[in-house]
Structure 1
Amino acid sequence: MGAEHNNIVLESELESLYQVSQVLSRSLDFRETLTEVLSRLSDTAKLRYGMICLQDDSSGELLVTALHENPAPFNTVRYKPGEGVVGAIMSSGKPLVVRRISDEDRFLDRLGVYDPELPFVGVPILIGDETAGVLAAQPLGSISLLKLHERFLQMVGNLIGQSVRLAKKVEDEQLALKDERDSLRRKVRGEHGFSNLVGHTPSMRMIFDQVRQVAKWNTTVLVRGESGTGKELVANAIHYNSPRSNGPFIKLNCAALPDTLLETELFGHEKGAFTGAVNQRKGRFEQAHGGTIFLDEIGEITPTFQAKLLRVLQEGEFERVGGVKTQVVDVRVVAATNKDLESEVQEGSFREDLYYRLNVMPIQMPPLRDRKEDINDLSRFLVSKIAKSQGRELSIDDGAVRLLMHHDWPGNVRELENCLERAAVMSGEGAIDENAINLSGLKPILDQSYSQVNGNSKIDIDDPDLDERERVIAALEQAGWVQAKAARLLGMTPRQIGYRIQTLNIKVRQM
C-alpha cells in the first residue's frame, strides 16, 4: 500500500512538474507566471501556501514576489539574509525541511498564512552556483513523503531559476535598449532642435518665437523661403520640440517623384495593385502615424494629386493604391515651398482650398543676404559641424568671416556651408583664413560699406583691424579705382597692387 501511495505521489508530482514547465515557457508577466506556478503546485501536487521570494539586486534582501492563497497584500514583506526561515535558506543555499512549522524557532510568520500544524519545505532557487531566491510550500499528506517533496521542490526551483535568469537577461536588455533609445532621442533632439537655427537678427528671433509657439500644437505649418534658407531645419525643430517628438518624423520631397509614384509613396499600396506590387506596403502617412510628416517642395505637385492630398489634410483619411479600406491616421503636417503659391492660386495651377489648408501657420525664412549680421555666428557653427564630420579641429579667423560677409549669397546658407567645406579641405592645418576662402572659389561681391559717400572714403586704410583685402579695397576706393594712385597710398608699386588685386580676388570697379 505504501509503495502504491508513493507511486501516486510521484505521478502527481510528475504531472505537476510538466504543468509548471508549460507555465514557465509562456510569455506572460513574470509575477503572474510565478503565481500561476504556485497555483499548479497546489492543485496537482498538494503543496499549499506556496511562496516565492527573489533577491533584490540593489538591497540584497529577499522580496516576496508571489504567494498562493493569500488574501492580503504582500508586496512590502521582505527578509534580510539569515533572517527567519526564509533568510536562513537564502544564506545557506541549502533546503530546509520542518515537520511542523510551529516548532521552528526561526519561523517569523510575517505573512500570517501558514498552517502552524503542517510541515514546511523550503528550497533555494539557484542560478548556477548563486542563490537567487527561495521557493517554499506546506505539503499535505504523510510526513514520510517530505524527502520526496523536498526533491520535487528542488526540481521546480531549478526551473524557476532558469526563468529568473532569462527574465533578468530580458530586463537588462530592455533597460539597455531604453537607455540607448533615450540617448539617441537626446542626440537627435540636439542635432535637430533649436540649436541648429542660428542667428540673432530680428527676422530670426521672430522665427524662433514662431517655432516655439507652433511646436506645442498640431497646427499645420507652411515653411516658405528660397532654396537653402533652412526650411527643413525649421521642420525638424518643430517636430523634436513638440509633444509628438517621441513619434516618427517622416520626410518626402514631393518634387522628386511623378504623380503615380508619389501616390504610392504617400498612401502605400495593396498586394497586386499594379505590376511589381508583390506585397502590401504602408505609405509615408501611415508610417508617420502619431508623429509628423514633412512634405518638402509642396508647390511642385500637380492639380490632380492636390485633390487627393487635400482629403488627407482635411479628414486624415485615404485608401492605399488598389485598396478599398479607408485608412485613418493621426499625423501632423509640416510643408515647405520656395514658390509664390498666391500667384499660382491666381493662375489656377494650385488649388485655393489646398492653399488655405496648408497656409494655417506660415513661417517665412529670410534669405542670407538680408541677415548678413548672422554670417559670423553661422560660419562658426558650420565650421564646428564640418570639423565633427571630418574628425579634426577646425577654426575660422575674423578676416575670413569679414570676407564672407562681402558676398551676396544667392545660394543662401547651403552655399555658405559648401563654401566653408571647400575652404576646410583647402586648409591643411585646419585654420580657415582669407586665403582658404579665396581658394574655395568664392567670388565676393563688393560690400557697400566700401563705397565713397559724398566723395569721401569711410574707411581708414591705416586701421589695424583691417585685413589686407579690406585695406586694398579701401585704397582703391579713395583713389577712384585708379590702381597707380592706390599703390602710392599703400606704398606699393603698380605691379605689386596688381598682384594683390589678382590674388585677393578683388573685382575691379570701372569708374
Structure 2
Amino acid sequence: MNRCKNLEMAVLNQISQAVLREKNVSAMLQLVLGILYREMGLLRGTVTLRRGDLLYIEASHGLSEAEMRRGKYHLGEGITGQVALTGKARIIPDISREPEFLDRTGARGRNSHVAFICVPILHKDEVIGTMSIDREMLPGADLERDFNLLEIVANLMAEAVSLWLGEHEERSRLMAENARLKQALDRISVPAEVIGNCQAMRAVYAMIEQVASSSATVLIRGNSGTGKELVARAIQRTGSRKDKPFIVVNSAALPENLIESELFGHEKGAFTGAVSRRIGRVEAAHTGTLFLDEIGDLSIAMQVKLLRFLQERTFQRVGSNEERSSDVRVIAATSRNLEKLMEQGLFREDLYYRLNVFPIHLPDLAERRSDIPLLAAHFLAKFNKLHRRRIRRISSSAMNLMTAYHWPGNVRELENCIERAVLTATDDSIHSYGLPAALQAAARHPGSNSLGDFASRVEAFERTLIVEALKANRGNVAASARMLNLTIRILHYKIGKLGITPALYR
C-alpha cells in the first residue's frame, strides 16, 4: 500500500514539474502521458480538447498520427463524448463488453480485453476536454486507484489547458477578424490623407469610394477643424481627375469685392488695380477639381453667379461679355448650418439643392475618441520629422487627458497640441504636464453636471487599465483578461469600443 502511495506521489511530482516548466501545452500533454505510461504501465493515453461541440485528440501515447486524426467526437457521442457532455468520469472494466465504446481511432479492436478510464478536464465547472487511458487488466490492477490519480492529473493540467485554449481561440478570432477586415479594406480603400478607423470614418471612406469616380457635386459638412479639405483631396485623388488640377477657394477668406474676380477672373482695366488680365480659379481648375471652402459665407449676389455656373458650366470674366466654359468637378464644404441660413434668407434654396447632390458629414473629434491615439501617433511622427526630434511615445496619463478632452477645435486643435508637446518635451516622451493648459484645466475642473465628461473620464480610466495590462502581458489579450479578472469576450468588446490595438504592446 505504501509502495503504491509513494509511486503515486512520485508520478504527481513529475507531472507537476512538467506542467509548471513546459510552456508549450501540446508538448506538456505529451510529457504527462509519457510519465503515466512509463511509471504506471499504461497501454495507451489520450487527451482530447473541446472546440465548440467537437472533441479533437490533442495529444496521445500509443496512437499513430492516422489514428489520432480519426479520433473526433461530438458531445454525447461514445464514452468520451458522454464524459465531455455530462462532466462525469466513466470506468469501463472491459471495452469488448461495452456497446457504447466506439473505438473511433481503430487502435484496439473489438476483442481487446482492456479497461478504459475517461475523466473530464474541468476549468471553473466547464468541461474543456477529456483525459483517458487504456489499462491492461493484470493481477493487482486497481482501476479505482488509477481513476483517482487520473482525476488529480486532469485537475493539475486544467489551468494550463484553459489558458492555451483561450489563446488558441483568440488567435483564431484574430485571424478571422483580420480576414474580415482585409476583405472590407479590399472593398473600401482608406484614403492616405485621412486618419481614422472608427465606424463613422469608415462610413465616410465608403462614401468617398462611392462618389470619387463620378463627376457629381459633393457637399462636405462638418465643424471647423474636422478635415473637410483632406476629404475633398481624397475624393480628387481617388477619382478619374487625380492627375488634374485641384484648386481651392476659401470663400470666408476673400473680401466681398474680390470674390467674383478670384473665381471667374478679370480683364485688364475691369476695375481699379486690374493692371493686367487674370484667369480665375474656375478657369485654372479646367479638367480638374474646384474646392469651394466655407460656401455658406458667400453673399446672395455671388451665390446667383455661382448657381449660374453650376447650371450652365459657363462664366464671364469681370469686365468681359464673352462666355467661357470650364469642365470642373465641384466639391463644396461648409461648417455653417445651411438650412438655418435658408430660413433667414441668407442662402439660396436653389443653390443648396444644386450643391447638396452628394452630402458627406464629418464627425467632431469628440465623437470619434477611439481615433485620437491613431491621430496622435500620426502627428507625433510628422512633427518629429519636421522639427528633427526623437520623441518615441505618448505616456498613458497624457493619452488619458487627450481622450477625455472635448476638442472644440477638433483635429486641427489636436495637431497643434501634439506639435507644441513635441517642441516642449524634455525627454523621449510626451507627458501630461507637457500638454496645453486647456487640457490641464479640463482635467482639473470637469463639468459636475455633464454626463459626457463623466463618461469620458470612465472611458479614460478603462483605457489606462487595459493598456497597462496589455503592456504587462506583451499584448496578450487572454493573459490581460485574467489580470483584470474579465472574460476574454468582454475585454475584446472593450478593446474594440476604445479603439485599442493590442499588437502595439507586443
Match of 1:421 among 419, 422, 443: 419
Matched, 1:448 2:446: no
- Equivalent AA in structure 2 for residue 431 of structure 1: S
Matched, 1:288 2:291: no
Matched, 1:229 2:226: yes
- Equivalent AA in structure 1 for residue 320 of structure 2: G
Q: Provide the residue aligned with 2:307 in structure 1.
A: 310
Q: Provide the residue aligned with 2:403 in structure 1.
A: 405
- Equivalent AA in structure 2 for residue 408 of structure 1: H
CA distance in 2, matches of 1:248, 1:463: 47
CA distance in 2, matches of 1:295, 1:318: 16
CA distance in 1, matches of 2:456, 2:319: 65
C-alpha deviation, 1:206, in angstroms: 0.1
CA distance in 2, matches of 1:430, 1:254: 42
CA distance in 2, matches of 1:292, 1:460: 42
* Aligned CA distance change for structure 1 residues 308 and 461 (closer, same or farther; 3 Å): closer
C-alpha deviation, 1:259, in angstroms: 2.7
CA distance in 1, matches of 2:463, 2:287: 60
- Equivalent AA in structure 2 for residue 284 of structure 1: R
* Aligned CA distance change for structure 1 residues 464 and 223 (closer, same or farther; 3 Å): closer
* Aligned CA distance change for structure 1 residues 359 and 377 (closer, same or farther; 3 Å): same
Q: Does the CA contact (< 8 Å) of 2:401 and 2:440 recur in 1?
A: no
- Equivalent AA in structure 2 for residue 235 of structure 1: A
CA distance in 1, matches of 2:349, 2:313: 19
Match of 1:465 among 456, 465, 468: 468
Q: Provide the residue aligned with 1:353 in structure 2.
A: 350
Q: Does the CA contact (< 8 Å) of 2:219 and 2:355 recur in 1?
A: yes
Within 5 Å, give how 1:121-270 maps onto structure 2.
194-270=191-267
Q: Does the CA contact (< 8 Å) of 1:219 and 1:361 recur in 2?
A: yes
Q: Does the CA contact (< 8 Å) of 1:222 and 1:335 recur in 2?
A: yes
C-alpha deviation, 1:198, in angstroms: 1.3
Match of 1:324 among 298, 321, 326: 321
Q: Provide the residue aligned with 1:343 in structure 2.
A: 340
SS of residue in 2 equivalent to 1:196: coil
* Aligned CA distance change for structure 1 residues 379 and 213 (closer, same or farther; 3 Å): same
Q: Provide the residue aligned with 2:174 in structure 1.
A: none
CA deviation digits over 1:449-478, x for unaligned, max 9?
A: 4879xxxxx989999939xxxxxxxxxxxx
Q: Does the CA contact (< 8 Å) of 1:296 and 1:335 recur in 2?
A: yes
Identity of paired residues, percent?
A: 46
Gapped regions of structure 2 (runs ≥ 5)? 1-189, 447-452, 470-506
* Aligned CA distance change for structure 1 residues 436 and 335 (closer, same or farther; 3 Å): same
SS of residue in 2 equivalent to 1:252: strand
CA deviation digits over 1:184-236, x for unaligned, max 9?
A: xxxxxxxxx81231111111100011111211111111100100111111011
* Aligned CA distance change for structure 1 residues 309 and 390 (closer, same or farther; 3 Å): same
TM-score, structure 1 normalization: 0.50
Q: Does the CA contact (< 8 Å) of 1:407 and 1:443 recur in 2?
A: no
Gapped regions of structure 1 (runs ≥ 5)? 1-192, 453-457, 467-511
Aligned length: 270
C-alpha deviation, 1:435, in angstroms: 2.4
CA deviation digits over 1:139-190, x for unaligned, max 9?
A: xxxxxxxxxxxxxxxxxxxxxxxxxxxxxxxxxxxxxxxxxxxxxxxxxxxx
- Equivalent AA in structure 1 for residue 424 of structure 2: M
* Aligned CA distance change for structure 1 residues 272 and 437 (closer, same or farther; 3 Å): same
Greater relative contact order (CA < 8 Å, ≥ 6 in sequence)? 2
Q: Does the CA contact (< 8 Å) of 1:424 and 1:430 recur in 2?
A: no
SS of residue in 1 equivalent to 2:274: coil
- Equivalent AA in structure 1 for residue 415 of structure 2: E
* Aligned CA distance change for structure 1 residues 307 and 434 (closer, same or farther; 3 Å): same
RMSD over aligned Cα atoms? 2.6
SS of residue in 1 equivalent to 2:192: helix
TM-score, structure 2 normalization: 0.50
- Equivalent AA in structure 1 for residue 405 of structure 2: H
Q: Does the CA contact (< 8 Å) of 1:404 and 1:444 recur in 2?
A: no
Q: Provide the residue aligned with 2:382 in structure 1.
A: 385
C-alpha deviation, 1:439, in angstroms: 6.5
Q: Does the CA contact (< 8 Å) of 1:423 and 1:440 recur in 2?
A: no
Q: Provide the residue aligned with 2:296 in structure 1.
A: 299
Q: Does the CA contact (< 8 Å) of 1:317 and 1:326 recur in 2?
A: yes
C-alpha deviation, 1:242, in angstroms: 1.2
Question: Which of structures 1 and 2 has the bigger CA Rg?
Answer: 1
* Aligned CA distance change for structure 1 residues 421 and 306 (closer, same or farther; 3 Å): same
C-alpha deviation, 1:310, in angstroms: 0.4
* Aligned CA distance change for structure 1 residues 409 and 461 (closer, same or farther; 3 Å): closer
Q: Does the CA contact (< 8 Å) of 1:226 and 1:367 recur in 2?
A: yes
SS of residue in 2 equivalent to 1:250: strand
Q: Does the CA contact (< 8 Å) of 1:450 and 1:459 recur in 2?
A: no
Q: Does the CA contact (< 8 Å) of 2:283 and 2:326 recur in 1?
A: yes
Q: Provide the residue aligned with 1:369 in structure 2.
A: 366
* Aligned CA distance change for structure 1 residues 248 and 315 (closer, same or farther; 3 Å): same
- Equivalent AA in structure 2 for residue 312 of structure 1: F
- Equivalent AA in structure 1 for residue 260 of structure 2: E
SS of residue in 2 equivalent to 1:404: helix
CA deviation digits over 1:119-152, x for unaligned, max 9?
A: xxxxxxxxxxxxxxxxxxxxxxxxxxxxxxxxxx
